[in-house]
Amino acid sequence: MKPGQQLHVVNQLYPYTVQFKEDPTGSHGGSKRPRESASEDRENQREAQKTKAAKQTEKVSVPVSHGDATNTSEGVGHWSQGLKTSMQDPKMQVYKDDKVVVIKDKYPKARYHWLVLPWQSIPSLKALREEHCDLVKHMQQVADQMVEQCPDASSLRFRTGYHAIPSMSHVHLHVISQDFDSPCLKNKKHWNSFTTDYFIESHDLFQMLEANGRVTVKEGASELLKLPLRCHVCRKDIPTIPALKEHLKSHFPR
């Protein structure tokens, strides 16, 4: 391994240039993605590959910069910016107009799971102001249309809403069927993010924005992710995710 040599990690898609850097703490910096588990999320697999490569060579592997931003500053290339890439990808897009684009969620947590994103760059719910009311309303209308045109709309219930504390940058509205029948739904955080008050109904968010000119998230929202598992249909407590998945089959037979 020589300085300047490129490592092609994962299918030659992600070139890394080896740089030598003092790192007395052994820390490689950056932040971990909070939600997706390594097995379901290629981005985390890439992280694991990078860490492995760094350990094997006992050198720090630094991604090639794609502009001003770096990985550690949550700029371009950081996992939290992934929606911005996906929304531009025609293969991910299922609908678009002059204001919004709808993409398939890359790690769907149910049989149908889309994200509605505005073309306008709005990093998070905190940045929403009264002037965005029309846009938020349009996002809801497009979400409703997505549900209407779904072939299983008559047999499945859908919800449309926002995560109180999203992990991904760029405002996005989840449109998700309530079967939660998906291999990507793997843990309590996933479950509670869609079935507790952590999931803010689109209509409620719009009302808050219209009334207050901004969106405020209740304190302690993150604690909701730790609540015990409970079936959203019959309210039964279920001890584990595998047991919950088995239980859901009775409510949503294929």
> What are the catalytic residues?
172
- 76 interacts with Zn ion by CB under 5 A: no
Contact mark string toward Zn ion, 205..234, x via CB under 5 A: --------------------------x-xx
Q: How many residues bind Zn ion (CB under 5 A)?
A: 4
* Element containing residue 73 per DSSP (H, E): none
For ligand AMP, give the closer residue by CB, 115 or 156: 115
- 243 interacts with Zn ion by CB under 5 A: no
Site residues (vs ligand AMP, CB under 6 A): 82-83, 86, 103, 105-107, 163, 166-168, 172
Least distance from ligand AMP to the Cβ atom of residue 169, Å: 8
Distance (Å, whole) CA 161 – CA 134: 16
The count of residues in the chain is 254
Q: Which of Zn ion, ligand AMP, none interacts with 77 (beta carbon under 5 to 8 A by kind)? A: none
Distance (Å, whole) CA 81 – CA 183: 23
Burial 93-117 (b: 16+ CB within 10 A, else e): eeeeeeebbbbebbbbbbbbbbbbb
Helix axes 202-212, 133-148, angle to 10 degrees: 170
Q: At a CB cut-off of 8 Å and minimum separation 6, what does 164 contact? A: 197, 198, 199, 200, 217, 218, 221, 224
For Zn ion, give the closer residue by CB, 157 or 236: 236
For ligand AMP, give the closer residue by CB, 101 or 244: 101
Least distance from Zn ion to the Cβ atom of residue 179, Å: 12
Interacting residues toward Zn ion by CB under 5 A: 231, 233-234, 236
